[in-house]
């Protein structure tokens, strides 16, 4: 029986070594400090926790985004202000004037209240767990040619109330952050399902 404990411990240690070996130590191009433990894929955006600037991973190192960079998907994320939201005048996917709002939505699941969940578990002999489904939506300025310039993002910690909003356009993202005094943040969300509509 003792050999089983040592075997399990050995597997855990080996797994930690594999994960630690695959994590990268990347230098932030804006402040020259290292970002340790990042696991980006080529083309991913990474936000520096020190200077809060975004960089793109080119497969070998982090590079500053070009001033007019537009990504193929929304990668530049900022915290969504709780009130007093202000939009730049241009389309969030290009520099053309915005001509219409496009509704973006995020559907997510959250644990139900304790009483409701316990009643469900009792009635189903513990086979089912109750969850609540929520949808948030927001109208985001776009031009006539684009409809995919932004996406809503879950808070990356369960205790944080702030959702994020990610943009394809780097200049639009910078202007949004400045107008709303918003904080750039990583787009990673906590567990659960995310469905963009």
Q: What does the alpha-carbon distance between residue 189 and residue 158 come to, in Å, rounded to a whole number?
A: 9
Least confident segment among 88-92, 117-121, 190-194: 190-194
pLDDT tens profile 151-186: 998 876 665 668 899 999 999 999 999 999 988 887
Domain residue ranges of the chain, discontinuous segments joined by +: 25-64, 67-197
Burial group, residue 159, by CB count within 10 angstroms (0-12, 13-18, 19+)? exposed
Q: What does the alpha-carbon distance between residue 119 and residue 94 come to, in Å, rounded to a whole number?
A: 50
Q: Is the pLDDT of residue 86 over 60?
A: yes
| More reliable by pLDDT, 113 or 158 | 113
pLDDT for 25? 83
Q: What does the alpha-carbon distance between residue 55 and residue 47 come to, in Å, rounded to a whole number?
A: 6
Please write down the long-range contacts of 61-65, taking CB distance under 8 Å and 24 or more positions apart.
61/26, 61/27, 62/26, 62/27, 62/28, 62/29, 62/35, 63/29, 64/29, 64/30, 65/170
If we measure between CA atoms, which residue out of 61, 60, 68, 62 comes closest to residue 48? 62
Strand order in the sheet with 131-142: 131-142, 100-111, 194-196
Mean per-residue pLDDT, 38-57: 87
Q: Is the pLDDT of residue 123 over 50?
A: yes
What's the predicted TM-score (pTM) here?
0.73
């Amino acid at each position: 029986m003792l050999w089983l404990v040592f075997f399990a411990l050995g597997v855990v240690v080996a797994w930690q070594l594999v994960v630690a070996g695959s994590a990268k130590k990347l230098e932030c191009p804006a402040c020259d400090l290292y970002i340790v433990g990042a696991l980006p894929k080529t083309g991913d955006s990474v936000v520096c926790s020190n200077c809060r600037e975004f960089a793109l991973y080119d497969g070998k190192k982090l590079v500053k985004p070009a001033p007019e960079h537009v990504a193929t998907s929304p990668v530049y994320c900022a915290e969504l202000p709780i009130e007093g939201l202000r939009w730049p005048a241009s389309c969030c996917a290009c520099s053309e004037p915005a001509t219409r709002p496009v509704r973006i939505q995020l559907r997510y699941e959250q644990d139900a209240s304790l009483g409701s969940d316990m009643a469900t578990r009792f009635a189903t002999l513990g086979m089912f767990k109750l969850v609540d489904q929520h949808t948030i939506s927001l109208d985001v300025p776009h031009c006539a040619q684009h409809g995919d310039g932004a996406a809503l993002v879950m808070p990356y910690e369960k205790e944080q109330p702030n959702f994020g909003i990610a943009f394809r356009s780097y200049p639009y993202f910078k202007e949004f952050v400045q107008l709303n005094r918003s904080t750039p943040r990583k787009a990673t969300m906590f567990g659960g399902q995310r469905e963009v509509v």
